[in-house]
């Protein structure tokens, strides 16, 4: 991330992707055209990778679950973890994949699915990858906070309507 300007634009977009370039420019005291072209450039460079709605599924009647899997693997000669990572993240079932420091190697977060689907994916797709030594699957019970947003109590403005 080269410039201060980019950092500031991202700081705003990351919190609210619906703001358009003109609005962001106004907030930062920048030129609207310049802001729009910075945003386009960051999209092209893969710095801004998408704009998504942030959903609290627990509030819907969808009863799928989220799973987080710890993977221990044997790194391959030559390309280390990257090749194994690719074998994992290519699966559409995988929501996120991180290489970790510490007691295990990868954190795999699966897209929401049923218990059956998760079990099938772990046993028939993940565990069978040659380099995978072990898996430990954790099921999310309650999501308290995600993306900096509390899921438990939506923020309510408790101030009086007019004060000095």
Partner 1 sequence: MKDFICSRIKKIKPSGIRRLFDIANEIPDVISLGVGEPDFDTPWHVREEGIYALQKGRTFYTSNSGLPELREEICKNVKRKYGLYYDSNNEAVVTIGGSEAIDIALRALIDPGDEIVYPEPCFVSYQPCILLSDGVPVPIELNAETEFRLTPEKLERAITEKTKALLISYPSNPTGAIMEREDLEKIAEVVRRHDIMVISDEIYSELSYKGPHVSIANMPGMQERTILINGFSKAYAMTGWRLGYALAPAHIMEYMLKIHQFAIMSAPTVSQYAAVSALRDGDKDIEVMKESYDQRRRFLMEAFREMGLPCFEPYGAFYVFPDISEFGMSSEEFCTALLKAENVAVVPGSAFGECGDRHVRISYAYSIDTLKEAMKRLGRFVQELRERPRQ
Positions in the binding site for partner 1 (CB under 8 A): 12, 16, 19, 23, 26-29, 157, 159-164
| Shortest Å distance, C-beta 27 to partner 1 | 4
11 vs 80 by CB, closer to partner 1: 11
142 vs 161 by CB, closer to partner 1: 161
Distance in angstroms (rounded) separating the CA atoms of residues 111 and 129: 19
| Shortest Å distance, C-beta 157 to partner 1 | 7
81 with 108: CB under 8 angstroms? no
5 vs 136 by CB, closer to partner 1: 5
Secondary structure element (H or E) that encloses residue 35, with its range: helix 32-44
Residues in CB range of 82: below 8 A, 6 or more apart: none
| Shortest Å distance, C-beta 47 to partner 1 | 20
C-alpha distance across the termini of the chain, in Å: 42
């Amino acid at each position: 991330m080269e410039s201060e300007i980019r950092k500031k634009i991202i700081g705003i977009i990351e919190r609210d992707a619906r703001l358009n370039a003109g609005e962001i420019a106004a907030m930062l005291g920048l030129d609207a055209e310049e802001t729009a072209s910075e945003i386009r450039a960051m999209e092209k460079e893969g710095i801004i990778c998408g704009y998504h709605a942030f959903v609290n599924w627990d509030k819907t009647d969808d009863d799928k679950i989220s799973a987080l899997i710890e993977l221990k693997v044997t790194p391959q000669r030559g390309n280390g973890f990257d090749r194994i990572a690719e074998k994992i993240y290519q699966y559409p079932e995988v929501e996120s994949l991180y290489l970790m420091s510490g007691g295990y190697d990868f954190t795999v977060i699966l897209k929401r699915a049923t218990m059956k689907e998760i079990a099938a994916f772990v046993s028939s797709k993940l565990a069978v990858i040659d380099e995978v030594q072990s898996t430990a699957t954790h099921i999310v019970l309650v999501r308290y906070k995600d993306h900096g947003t509390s899921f438990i109590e939506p923020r309510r403005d408790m101030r009086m309507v007019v004060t000095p």
